Homo-oligomer: A and B are copies of this chain.
Amino acid sequence: MEVVLIGSGSVATHLGLALQAKGVTISQVYSRNVSNAESLAEKLDTSFITDISEIYKEADIYFYALTDTAFKKILRKIEMPGGIQVHTAGCIPMSDFEGFTTKYGVLYPLQTFSKNKPVDFSQVPIFIEASNTDVQQKLLEIGNLLSDKTYFINSDQRKKLHLAAVFACNFTNYMYDVASEILEGSGFMFEVIQPLIAETAEKIKTINPYQAQTGPAVRMDEKTISKHLSMLNKRADLKKIYKLLTKNIYNRHKEQ
């Protein structure tokens, strides 16, 4: 099987590495950014282009790992090759391919990818959607090749998964980042809080997050909350977040 990667960000990188590890040939990498294109092509021991008109036409599958805006731009410019066209985004409807080709689909890996952090793709849930049963069969093959967990999904479900992922991953990571900023002045390293982060993530495997909620907001510990708020007097941005999340946690648990 021959594959072309359109995009050179972290999804393209990890997908490319995982496909290659399973024996798939990465025939070419495209990125409008030369150094990104070159660096990914080097990792995958393949060639790269920065001009989409030079795209290799004989691949079986073309993976688009792009932002929404970049994806739409490429669709307008590309002379569509004959293979299957597949994007990997959480929040782009499959129907965006309509009118450009008939063989298309989505392969959405629900995971957070950073370029320099290896990922065990076998544990990444993969969600697929296809324009016809042939494409579906092909994407299922690839899903099963890469991961132990492949699911069929529609664009609307995928959009919900993606929104949930923003909270569970991107916003969660930002909470870690805020914690690390607060620790900067404490004399302790970020490492000291890692067992807490690990246990917080571990806990919700056995009890649901609603039950797992702890802290001053859920126990209505107003004195602690007001001490924390006064500690944030010089950080209006964090104070606003603290207030808003505390109010939401309080309201969510008060209801029941």
Contact = CB atoms under 8 A, between A and B. Distances in A.
A244 B244 contact: yes
Contacts of A248: 174, 237, 241
Interface stretch (A42-50, A80-88, A112-120, A134-142): A112-120
A245 B203 contact: no
A194 B123 CA distance: 10
A20 to B, nearest CB: 21
A215 B170 contact: yes
A172 interface: yes
Interface residues of A, number: 96
A228 B166 contact: yes
B113 A214 contact: yes
Interface string A61-104: 00000011100000000000000000001110000000000000
Contacts of A242: 166-167
Nearest to A123: B195
Contacts of A69: 221-223
A206 to B, nearest CB: 6
A174 B249 contact: yes
Interface in A179-214: 179-180, 182-183, 185-188, 190, 192-201, 203-214
Contacts of A196: 110-112, 125, 165, 168-169
B160 A168 contact: no
Contacts of A17: none
Stoichiometry (number of copies)? 2
| Interface of A: prevailing SS | helix
Contacts of A114: 203, 207, 211-212, 214
A58 B16 CA distance: 67
A215 B169 contact: yes
Contacts of A195: 110-111, 123-125, 149
A67 B112 contact: no
Given A68-B223, A169-B200, A175 B177 contact: no
B160 A183 contact: yes
A212 B169 CA distance: 10
A188 B174 CA distance: 25
Contacts of A244: 240-241, 244
A119 B190 CA distance: 21
